[in-house]
């Protein structure tokens, strides 16, 4: 008979390897106690330490003329003129949302809001990028329903507009959904603050909600390991309170406006552990934390629980002694708890005290700077990684039926059901909102600025699964392409890199190639990466998710009045397709709907793409186009259909010049295509301007049907049929 199983070493239960434990012993010069082991396990987790990704992230370009604050801070920021800066960042809350979707998604919004106001910017808008399994699955419908409800609950309650986003449905996300949240905020440049602690003898003040056991171990238990349904991880999901966060936001901004803080940091993953360690590391100082002074929601919490709790709506700041009373008074005014729980020291150590005794004593450098970094071992797989998706559109179907099938497909059909749950207008800045255009446009006028900013978030994991490098390049181009529809010049990019287990060679290959693709795309467009997030180990027993680099981009434009619409504007307008668009079925939505998944995508000419982006921005800025819409999922036929749905007007076009194969011309995908309509008298000017980057004269607006010819293929579908399929595709599955 087998005897009882040998007990697992405590460090292994906390996600540390034997080698990492030996390193900790070496750096401490002794065995760590329980408090220290818990703290190291969080700081050396994948989520906090980026130990499998940091070396790769160094490949990304991080310099640009508009850059104000780059990687390493809570959020990045860019200069938008008039003395203003826009701060923005995207982060994931994937694993918590797969376990408890409402709170997981809600606290994802809360966390990204804190990242933005932690540097002194007032949040003005959020976006989200969501991935679920196919809607045929009851589990995926449940996760979608509750995640969207959580996003709406938190954003609507705190009064920050949700202005855009995207939702994709693919089989690989069935057991590991993705919930990526992006926030942007605005501030006078001089109000921006960094997180580095400063000033030996200064107070460390904790303000905000009480500290409880919710979220304990979230960074290691959830975010740094594969999901396993056999383990109940609900206690590791944080619980959010948007009304507490609203008070926290106003308190933080008033403290900064009054010049009362030396530094400010939010408490996210790993709670006090990461915030205190990172503040001390940034300032090259030490911090002592007296856990007896931490206000608790639950009695009897152990020292390690207090230090690693991920209770939401909390901030940590450094305050000079002569300003402490004023800081506490501002917090009291907003009915926010505030307590001096520690002090800045010159020891370069994080020390945890209880009852006057030291219960944890660790070098800050060991916690933050000496986290072991690993070299990935990428290896391109010989065999397909993913099962082909289910087939829904038969090969050889009439082109009109294929178009209706695509326009009603889950990835393309209207997401009105979701975005109507969000307040998109609060704040009175939203000029173009979710569902009304290719990007959101927010006026700077309420903040005393000139012009507007445009923002979009994009990614297509299926195309990255086909070709990690080219798919990631396309994600950058697609985001900038959406901004170009508003004439906005991109100023900065944030990313959230969602991948499987990087210790597996084929996942490492996906990750390395995708990072290289993002770097190439950003370099070609001259856009710096201002920061972001990495979410690894997104897989379970069924396998990994599609590699899903999500990019968010912010751009600047002039007067937002009279921007071109997405839909046609007048009967008789000429329809043109601008750009170096070379359609292919590889990686397309049609290929998916036929149950196929290619290996490889056509190469992208980045120089030609960059030139086309600049040309399109100038056409929009000069008001030379009446409508504009980028060609994306479903190809040119779907883009044309979406323009007809948005306007109620039909069109008659010939797409034969796009490809000798009719199906490719209609439904092939690729970067670098914009469908525009222009008044007949202005068409020649646009054609002349666009000739150097590529121009196709397709036809004209008119009638109540979309009529398209493409080599041997043709279709004629009424606008009402297109609209019905588009509106019903997702909504009917959720009734």
E strand or H helix at 44 = none
Chain centroid to Cα 145, Å, comes to 19
Copy the structure tokens of residue 105.
Answer: 């998604």
Per the structure block, which two tokens stand in for 506? 């084929």
Characterise 238 by phi-psi region: left (phi > 0), alpha (psi -120 to 50), beta (else).
Answer: beta
Contacts of 382 (CB under 8 A, 6+ apart): none
Burial 612-641 (b: 16+ CB within 10 A, else e): bbebbbebbbeebbbbbbbbbbbbbbbbbb
Which residue in the list 11, 47, 52, 613 is annotated as catalytic? 47
Alpha carbon 25 to its chain's center: 37
- Of 93, 203, 613, 629, which residue is the catalytic one? 93
**φ, ψ at 114 (rounded to 5°):** -65, -35
Phi, psi of 174 (to 5 degrees): -55, -45
Residue with tokens 């038969």: 394
Q: What is the DSSP letter of 712?
A: T
* β-strand partners of 713: 710
What is the separation of C-alpha 131 from the centre of its chain, rounded to a whole number of angstroms? 11
Report which DSSP code applies to 370: T
C-alpha–C-alpha distance, residues 658 and 46, integer Å: 45
How far from 149 is each of 94, 99, 105, 128, CA to CA, in Å?
Answer: 15, 15, 8, 13
Q: Are strands 713-718 and 489-498 parallel, antiparallel or unpaired?
A: unpaired
For residue 368, what are its two tokens?
Answer: 């933050």
Q: If we measure between CA atoms, which residue out of 65, 54, 52, 162 comes closest to residue 106?
A: 162
Chain centroid offset of residue 526 CA: 20
Q: CA–CA separation, 338 vs 264, rounded Å?
A: 14
Identify the sign of the CA torsion 223, 225, 229, 234.
negative
CB-based contact 224:47 (threshold 8 Å): yes
Give the E-state strand segments of 310-461 in sequence order. 314-319, 338-345, 349-354, 357-363, 430-432, 440-443, 452-458
Where do we find the tokens 């445009």? Answer: 454
Contact 678, 574 (CB under 8 A): yes
17 three-state secondary structure: coil
Residue 47 bears catalytic tag: yes
Which pair of tokens denotes residue 191? 């109000």
Which residues are known to be catalytic? 47, 93
């Amino acid at each position: 008979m087998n005897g009882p199983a040998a007990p697992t070493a405590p460090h292994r239960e906390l996600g540390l390897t034997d080698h990492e434990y030996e390193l900790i012993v070496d750096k401490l010069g002794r065995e760590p106690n329980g408090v220290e082991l818990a703290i190291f396990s969080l700081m050396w987790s994948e989520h906090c330490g980026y130990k499998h990704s940091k070396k790769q992230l160094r490949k990304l370009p991080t310099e640009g003329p508009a850059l104000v604050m780059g990687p390493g801070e809570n959020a990045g920021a860019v200069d938008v003129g008039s003395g203003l800066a826009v701060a923005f960042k995207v982060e994931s809350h994937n694993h918590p949302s797969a376990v408890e979707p409402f709170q997981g998604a809600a606290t994802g919004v809360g966390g990204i809001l804190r990242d933005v106001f932690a540097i002194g910017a007032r949040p003005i808008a959020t976006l989200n990028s969501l991935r679920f399994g196919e809607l045929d699955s009851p589990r995926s419908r449940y996760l979608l329903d509750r995640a969207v409800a959580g996003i709406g609950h938190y954003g609507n309650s705190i009064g920050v507009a949700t202005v855009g986003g995207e939702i994709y449905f693919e089989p690989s996300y069935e057991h590991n959904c993705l919930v990526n949240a992006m926030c942007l905020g605005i501030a006078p440049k001089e109000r921006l603050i960094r997180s580095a602690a400063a000033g030996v003898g200064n107070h460390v003040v904790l303000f905000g909600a009480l500290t409880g056991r919710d979220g304990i171990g979230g960074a290691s238990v959830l975010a740094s390991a594969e999901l396993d349904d056999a383990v109940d991880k609900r206690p590791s999901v944080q619980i959010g309170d948007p009304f507490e966060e609203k008070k926290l936001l106003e308190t933080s901004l008033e403290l900064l406006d009054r010049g009362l803080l030396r530094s400010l940091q939010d408490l996210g993953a790993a709670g006090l552990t990461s915030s205190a360690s990172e503040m001390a590391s940034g300032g090259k100082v030490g911090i002592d934390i007296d856990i007896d002074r931490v206000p608790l929601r639950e009695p009897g919490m152990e020292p390690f629980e207090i230090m690693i709790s991920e209770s939401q709506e909390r901030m940590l700041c450094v305050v000079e002694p002569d300003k402490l009373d004023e800081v506490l008074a501002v917090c009291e005014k907003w009915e926010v708890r505030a307590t001096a729980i520690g002090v800045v020291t010159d020891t370069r150590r994080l020390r945890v005290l209880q009852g006057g005794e030291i219960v944890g004593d660790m070098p800050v450098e060991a916690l933050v700077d000496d986290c072991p970094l690993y070299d990935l071992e990428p290896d391109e797989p010989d065999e397909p990684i993913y099962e082909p998706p289910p087939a829904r559109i038969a090969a050889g179907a009439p082109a009109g039926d294929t178009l209706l099938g695509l326009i009603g497909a889950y990835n393309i059909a209207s997401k009105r059901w979701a975005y109507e749950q969000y307040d998109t207008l609060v704040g009175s800045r939203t000029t173009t909102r979710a569902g009304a255009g290719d990007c959101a446009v927010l006026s700077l006028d309420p903040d005393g600025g000139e012009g507007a900013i445009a923002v979009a978030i994009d990614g297509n994991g299926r195309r990255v699964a086909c070709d990690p490098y080219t798919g990631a390049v396309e994600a950058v181009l697609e985001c900038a392409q959406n901004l170009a529809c508003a004439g906005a010049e991109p100023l900065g990019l944030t990313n959230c890199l969602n991948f499987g287990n990087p210790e597996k060679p084929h996942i490492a290959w996906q990750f390395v190639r995708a990072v290289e693709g993002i770097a190439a795309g950003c370099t070609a467009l001259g856009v710096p990466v201002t920061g972001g997030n990495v979410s690894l180990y997104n897989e379970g027993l069924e396998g990994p998710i599609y590699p899903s680099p999500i990019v968010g981009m912010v751009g600047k434009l002039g007067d937002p009045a009279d921007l071109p619409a997405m839909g046609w504007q007048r009967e008789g307008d000429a329809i043109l397709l601008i750009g170096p668009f070379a359609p292919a079925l590889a990686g397309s939505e049609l290929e998916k709907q036929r149950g196929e998944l290619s290996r490889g995508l056509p190469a992208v000419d980045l120089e030609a793409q960059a030139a086309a982006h600049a040309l399109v921005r100038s056409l929009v800025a000069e008001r030379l186009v009446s409508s504009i819409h980028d060609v994306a999922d479903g190809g040119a036929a779907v883009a044309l259909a979406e323009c007809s749905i948005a306007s109620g007007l039909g069109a008659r076009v010939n797409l034969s010049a796009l490809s000798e194969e009719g199906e490719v011309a209609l439904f092939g995908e690729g970067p670098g295509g914009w469908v525009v309509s222009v008044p007949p008298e202005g068409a020649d000017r646009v054609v002349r301007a666009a000739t150097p980057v590529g121009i196709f004269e397709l036809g004209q607006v008119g009638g109540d049907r979309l009529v398209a010819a493409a080599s041997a293929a043709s279709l004629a579908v009424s606008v009402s049929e297109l609209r019905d399929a588009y509106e019903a595709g997702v909504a009917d599955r959720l009734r």
